[in-house]
Structure 1
Amino acid sequence: MRTSAPVSVIVSTFQEGGLLAETIASVESAAVLPREIVVVDDGSTDRSCEREWPPRVRVLRGDHVGVAAARNRGAQAASQPIVVFLDAHCTVDGRWLTPLVDALEHVPDALIGPAVRDSSDTRFVGCGAEIVDALLTYRWRPATGAALDEVGLVPGGCLAVGRDQFLASGGFAAFTGFGLEDVELGLRWWRAGYPVLGAPDSVVTHRFRTLPPYRPEEQAWLQNILRTALLHLSGPQLQASVMACSRFSTFPGAISTVLSESWVPTHQRLLASEVRATIAYLDRWAPRAFGS
């Protein structure tokens, strides 16, 4: 008999075509079911959300606002105490939810990610990630063992968190386009003193793509890097990140946009309230990114 868990699975989607339906079917076929699935249609025009969905699926429609804002909208609409954000191009193992729910019952203030298998090379399974360069690019850590383990980042393809704490923290930052929302959240979570964990017993297969099914927005990506750097870095590390961004042709527009925003109060608030210092994070989880 299949059981259900007190989870809202939130799938934000933009131009995912048939992959969205495959992702929902995978979640619906698992041995442990979420109590609801919230699909946030981020302004798709490919009609991928226009179908008959199972009863536990709710579809929220809206304009294209980017993955961070779409996921926040899903979390606000969620009815369950645990939210699991899942990309719309994944398949899940039968009991993928159980380790995530069990972990949050024991460590309720944690940010937790599963082991993630590459659909094109199933020999590789990663669990958590660390930052590898000044553009805040991350690299997966190989999944080892079965126990919960501290990680530097939980990549946004799948992450689980208590809904109330996620919303109280401000949710994902107000980023545009795609990218870095998971990096910024991980840094903010770690600095606040909360656990960032990998749960290797939970397995999700992810379709990693060279290009998404829509035109990438380089300036939006750069803006998200710069926003993250300005909020969390200082001194030589901040300088290195800005200089790395400056190599791109869209840098002038990106930096002028970000500097015109009200980022200083947030930077000061994060600094005043941090439990663990950013430099300690970089020493442990980004030792090669900034030459530390």
Structure 2
Amino acid sequence: MPEFSIIIPNKDEGERLLQTVRSVLDSQGPSFEVIVVDDRSRRPPDLHGRWPNVTQLDGPGLGVAPARNFGASRARGRYLVFIDAHVWVPPDWLARIERALRADPTLAAVSPGIAVEGDVGTVGWGLTWDERLSIRWLPRPESAVAEVPLLPGGCVAVRKEVFDSSGGFNRGFRGHGYDDQEFSLRLWLLGHRLACLRDLTVVHHFRTEFPYPVEPWHHYYNQLRMAVSHFNEERIGKVLSLLRDVIDPSLLLARLFTDDTLEDRRRWLEVRAHDDDWFMSRFGIPF
């Protein structure tokens, strides 16, 4: 059984996917498997049998969160690592992640610093929110293992038992957006701890446009679903106010009231260890 299952969602990434897989295959240290979930690319890759420890799955075509969950359902490792299909990792990255998680059993998930392709001196160590719930990268921390509010989905490692018990990435999310933010928020509210590793960095390609068609409403739906699932009424109202600047949220609300979002809200409010006031105060988030 591998120690790590590395799950890579892919949609029309082309050569960048192959570069990512080759980078991962150069990893040294703990045993691992690679699971590529092709989420119905227009030009799907053919990795079947190309490398012995690489498995290609056909995803549901519903977006990043469902693709990640689908890959996790087939994973055998003790630790799950989710990376984008345009990330390059150093050879010792898994050993460093394993060392951090073994050293502190209370850590549920960790992420390395994320460097910008072409400008590797520009690095973000975890994410936070500003007063408009927009994400902001955090600077290099003083401690080697530093708690952060949000872990970037570009590269995040989580204990499999924590992933399974917390429900994985939001099963109701569609398309692209907020999957990593909602997952991080939910883990903190459930009483888990998340941290960034100061001395480990991976390189990420930050694209200016998607290589596939996207539905803008998916992004806003995911944001509102996150808010309704975890925020108090005042913060839900603030999210609705922000959405009204860019979209009519009435259709989003109609969808939320007919899907399982309210069921999600009841479930998480019953079992969480902290509320959203605690989270915002804990990390000094002005929202």
Q: What is the TM-score of this pair, normalised by structure 2?
A: 0.93
Between the aligned partners of 1:49 and 1:232, the Cα distance in structure 2 is: 40
Q: Give CA-to-partner distance per residue, 1:218-264, whole Å, 9 cap, x none.
A: 11111100000001111322111111112223533222212222222
Match of 2:135 in 1: 138
Equivalent residue for 2:214, pick from 205, 213, 216 = 216
Match of 1:47 in 2: 44
Please say which of residues 78-87 and 113-122 is displaced more in the overlay. Answer: 113-122
1:212-251 equivalences under 5 Å are 212-249=210-247, 251=249
Between the aligned partners of 2:176 and 2:245, the Cα distance in structure 1 is: 19
Q: Which amino acid is the alignment partner of residue 205 of structure 1?
A: V
Equivalent residue for 2:278, pick from 280, 284, 290 = 280
Match of 1:153 in 2: 150
Q: Which runs of 5+ in 1 are unaligned?
A: none
Match of 2:196 in 1: 198
Q: Which runs of 5+ in 2 are unaligned?
A: none
Q: Secondary structure of the equivalent of 1:32?
A: coil
Please say which of residues 242-251 and 201-210 is displaced more in the overlay. Answer: 242-251
Q: Give CA-to-partner distance per residue, 1:76-131, whole Å, 9 cap, x none.
A: 10111111001000101121112211122233451111111111321211111101
Asked if structure 2 preserves the Cα contact closer than 8 Å seen for 1:131 and 1:285, the reply is: no
Q: Secondary structure of the equivalent of 1:178?
A: coil
> Which ranges of 4 or more aligned residues in structure 1 deviate by more than 4 Å?
none
1:69 aligns with 2:84: no
1:90 aligns with 2:110: no
Q: Give CA-to-partner distance per residue, 1:182-201, whole Å, 9 cap, x none.
A: 11111110011110111122
Q: Secondary structure of the equivalent of 1:39?
A: strand
Match of 1:172 in 2: 169
**What RMSD over aligned residues (CA atoms) do the two structures have, in Å?**
1.9
Asked if structure 1 preserves the Cα contact closer than 8 Å seen for 2:13 and 2:86, the reply is: yes
1:13 aligns with 2:10: yes
TM-aligned CA distance change 1:191 to 1:62, over 3 Å: closer
Q: Secondary structure of the equivalent of 1:249?
A: coil
Once the 2 structures are TM-superposed, how far is the Cα of residue 48 of structure 1 from its aligned partner? 2.9
Between the aligned partners of 2:103 and 2:63, the Cα distance in structure 1 is: 32
Between the aligned partners of 1:234 and 1:152, the Cα distance in structure 2 is: 18
Q: What is the TM-score of this pair, normalised by structure 1?
A: 0.91
1:78 aligns with 2:95: no
Equivalent residue for 2:96, pick from 94, 99, 102 = 99
1:124 aligns with 2:130: no
Once the 2 structures are TM-superposed, how far is the Cα of residue 47 of structure 1 from its aligned partner? 3.0
Once the 2 structures are TM-superposed, how far is the Cα of residue 34 of structure 1 from its aligned partner? 4.4
Q: Secondary structure of the equivalent of 1:110?
A: strand
Once the 2 structures are TM-superposed, how far is the Cα of residue 58 of structure 1 from its aligned partner? 0.5
Q: Give CA-to-partner distance per residue, 1:29-86, whole Å, 9 cap, x none.
A: 2333642100011111223345763211010113412110110111110111111001
Give % identity. 32
Once the 2 structures are TM-superposed, how far is the Cα of residue 284 of structure 1 from its aligned partner? 3.4
Q: Which amino acid is the alignment partner of residue 116 of structure 2?
A: D
Between the aligned partners of 2:47 and 2:74, the Cα distance in structure 1 is: 20
Once the 2 structures are TM-superposed, how far is the Cα of residue 145 of structure 1 from its aligned partner? 4.2
Once the 2 structures are TM-superposed, how far is the Cα of residue 138 of structure 1 from its aligned partner? 1.3
Count how many residue pairs are aligned between Structure 1 and Structure 2. 285
TM-aligned CA distance change 1:110 to 1:62, over 3 Å: closer
Q: Secondary structure of the equivalent of 1:143?
A: coil
Between the aligned partners of 1:194 and 1:285, the Cα distance in structure 2 is: 15
